[in-house]
A and B are shown apart, each in its own frame.
Chain A
Amino acid sequence: MVVCVYLPRFELVVAAGGPQALAGRALALAPLISSEQRVGEVSGAAEACGVAAGMALGEALARCPDLVLVSPDPVRVAESWEAVVRSLESVGAAVEAERPGLAYFETDGLRGIHGSDDGAIAAARQALGRPARIGGGPTRFCALAGAQAVRSRRPLILDGPPSQEARQWLAARPVGLLGYRAETEALLETLGRLGVRTLGELAGLGRTVLADRFGAAGVIAHRLACGEDSRLRVRRIEEQLQETLSVGDASSGSALRRVLDVLVGRLLARPERRGRTLRAVTLSARLLTGGGWRERVVFRQALCDPERIGLALSLRLQLLPAPASALRLTVERFGPPANEQSALLDQARAARAARLREAIAQVRAVAGQDAALRAVCVDPDSRVPERRVMLAPIPE
């Protein structure tokens, strides 16, 4: 059985400072600076005023003039969500973390530890240590529908194969559940305009009709409406390695780049790395204006060279929406161990220089003296483009 753990309004609760901050107040997550101007998750009081997540900021403020916008804090959300997922993993579950506030795990391998499905769910709820909506079903989507429908602390469990009881139960559920899947999210607006309200109505349209109208997304939507779903994509459990530095006055520009270099150096020097390369890292920052910023960087190839890592990360650093107060670098995935042993004599460089000289000589012999030139940066910051780089002869 697949179990869905749903923590409603997770990002808003974390950014606002706790669930009590939402009580009776019309709150909404403000849009990120560099993104489309639409509100994020909204509180119950804001929903009562007609504000919904994803609504344009102007429309949300027009519907609810008392709406309070909360700065999004992706750094704290990621930290809190990581703690939630690790607490689920602590009971032995292999977790698929779909998005902050929504996770799945299978109970088949946990019955031996906790006795039964109910025992595994009870252990997960105890490990979470916070109220959560929990649903169970034969597939991921059935479990999600169960978690969305339940309002009490008791989990809603749908038994049996997906073709029978679960499918009948799903038929009455709203089609809005498809919005929780990235592949089918875009269909909601069109389905609404077509008057399709429930998953039963969607399933009744037929798979070929939906495939004809929506392509692959339509096929996926029909499978989900029929209670079918793919297997869980559980995450790999890896040790977490991170370094944090308070940046002080070096809150932006080239000074922040130097802080980043120090951070990379410290991370690579950690003994826990055991010579492994870095495949993916997360660069995050706390901002002086409040809130945070977070960017995931996947390298083209696994690296352990501080210069190349610094170069790749410095490009992302330019996306910082405001000056930073602290910078953090976290390893998300390690690559294979690198062969860091260098040659006794650096013969490769000399051989490469000799090959380059020979190639230049051959090009000049064929196409003349001006055929091979060197680009020299003379004034890279000049406002006049043709003064930045000059072509100069390469010495013999």
Chain B
Amino acid sequence: MAARALNHPRPARVRRSAGHPVEVNGEAVESLRESWLVEDRWWTAAPLRRRYWELVGERGRNLVVFHDLTGGGDAPGGWFVQSP
């Protein structure tokens, strides 16, 4: 078998308000801890552009979700959850 990546992003159901997530997979967001932008491989045909959010859910656990912005404009790729 070939090598495969660990920690693949998993699709997530995210509801947002005022531009930031307020609910992830049915769990309300208690607080927003951090947000950062990752841009990579913009020089290739498959560029990567993600807006990450580190959140604390109502159950007290840390969540990291990102919004795939590679589609550009207001209709980008979607939301994913991933370990930091």
Give A contacts to B, CB under 8 Å.
Answer: 369-370, 375-376, 383-393
Contact = CB atoms under 8 A, between A and B. Distances in A.
A390 B38 contact: no
Contacts of B83: 385
Contacts of B38: 383-384
Interface of B: 1, 3-9, 38, 40, 48, 50, 82-84
A392 B3 contact: yes
Contacts of A390: 3-6
Given A383-B40, A385-B83, A385-B84, A369 B1 contact: yes
A384 B48 contact: yes
Nearest to B37: A383
B3 A391 contact: yes
A27 to B, nearest CB: 36
30 contacts: A369-B1, A375-B6, A376-B3, A383-B40, A384-B38, A384-B50, A385-B7, A385-B82, A385-B83, A386-B5, A386-B6, A386-B7, A386-B8, A386-B9, A386-B82, A388-B6, A388-B7, A389-B5, A389-B6, A389-B7, A390-B3, A390-B4, A390-B6, A391-B3, A391-B4, A391-B5, A391-B6, A392-B3, A393-B1, A393-B3
B17 to A, nearest CB: 26
A130 B38 CA distance: 59
A67 B5 CA distance: 56
Residue of A384, A387, A390 with most partner-chain B CB within 10 A: A384
A389 to B, nearest CB: 4
Contacts of B82: 385-386
A383 B40 CA distance: 9
Contacts of A392: 3
Contacts of B40: 383-384
Contacts of B9: 386
Contacts of A393: 1, 3
A388 B38 CA distance: 15
Nearest to B9: A386
Nearest to B36: A383
Contacts of A370: 1
Contacts of B4: 390-391
Nearest to B64: A385
Contacts of A369: 1
A385 B6 CA distance: 8
Residue of A376, A383, A385, A388 with most partner-chain B CB within 10 A: A385
B66 to A, nearest CB: 9
A391 B4 CA distance: 5
Contacts of B5: 386-387, 389-391
Contacts of A389: 5-7
B9 to A, nearest CB: 7
Given A375-B6, A386-B7, 8 more contacts: A383-B38, A384-B38, A385-B82, A385-B84, A386-B5, A388-B6, A389-B7, A391-B4
A261 B83 CA distance: 31
B5 to A, nearest CB: 4
Nearest to A375: B6
A386 B50 CA distance: 13
B6 to A, nearest CB: 4
A390 B1 CA distance: 12
A392 B9 CA distance: 19
Contacts of A386: 5-9, 82
Contacts of B3: 376, 390-393
Q: Which 6 A-B residue pairs are closest in the complex by CB-CB distance?
A: A392-B3, A390-B3, A389-B6, A386-B5, A383-B38, A386-B7
Nearest to A392: B3
A391 B2 CA distance: 9
B52 to A, nearest CB: 9
Contacts of A387: 5
Contacts of A388: 6-7
